[in-house]
Amino acid sequence: MDTLIFEKVDVYISNMFAPDDATLAATLRSLRAEGLPQHSVSANQGKFLQLMAILCNAKKILELGTLGGYSTIWLARALPADGKLISVEINNHYAEVAQRNINDAGLSGKVEIRVGDALEILPKMIHDKEGPFDLVFVDADKPPYAEYFSFALSLARPGTLLVFDNVIREGKILDPATTDEKVKGVQRFNKILSDNPHVTSTILPIVGIKEYDGMALAIVKGNIIA
């Protein structure tokens, strides 16, 4: 696949619609300086997430997978003054870097990072009735995406927007015999999502400066019986 044209178009769009400001540029630099993986969403995807948050008038956002806080900053900037974003991150060091970036972005009053395994934190949030969230962005480990979907539904209300990143994986989801646990995880999730009668959903394929991938989008339709 000739990916050069996709990269050029992504840069073209990002330069116009999602130019890096000093805070976002410093956030990306901090990932490199602190040895974090370069797995942040692209600038254009960050802008897309921000647009989604504005579109659904989000006041409460849940994010799984903080890394250095890059997507967190894009999303939190869409929140009103009394808005709140909870971001869950399993890695202590990543969470520390993200916290610094969020402080530098002036968003510490709106963003709370919870350090731990989302598979343990989410059931506790459900138990503590911390929902409903207006938007849930899932960008953590891929094998339990189906479980994250189930938890997200329990933390949602009718109209909540669910966004799951990296669900196409360069088209590897087309291979039913794959042994890749990440691919298997999103295959299982994609099937469960498409079969679920409580959401209206689809997958948006994405090409750009990152690999060929896609984001699943789902709107919760009615009351969920957990």
Residues engaged in binding ligand SAM (CB under 6 A)? 39-41, 64-67, 70-71, 88-91, 94, 117-119, 139-141
Quote the least distance from Cβ 64 to ligand SAM, whole Å. 6
Quote the least distance from Cβ 193 to ligand SAM, whole Å. 19
Residue nearest to ligand SAM (CB): 65
Quote the least distance from Cβ 39 to ligand SAM, whole Å. 4
Considering beta carbons, is residue 49 or 156 the nearer one to ligand SAM? 49
Considering beta carbons, is residue 119 or 207 the nearer one to ligand SAM? 119
Considering beta carbons, is residue 37 or 80 the nearer one to ligand SAM? 37
Considering beta carbons, is residue 86 or 153 the nearer one to ligand SAM? 86
Give the torsion sign (CA, 9, 206, 202, 219).
negative
Q: Which two tokens stand for residue 13?
A: 């769009």
Quote the least distance from Cβ 117 to ligand SAM, whole Å. 4
Quote the least distance from Cβ 212 to ligand SAM, whole Å. 16
**Ramachandran assignment for 35, one of left (phi > 0), alpha (psi -120 to 50 degrees), beta (any other):** left
Distance CA 102, CA 159 (A): 28
Write the DSSP string, 180-213.
Answer: -HHHHHHHHHHHHHHH-TTEEEEEEEE-SSS-SE
Across the chain, which distance is largest between two alpha carbons, in Å? 49
Distance CA 140, CA 88 (A): 9
Considering beta carbons, is residue 95 or 153 the nearer one to ligand SAM? 95
Place of tokens 């959401």: 199
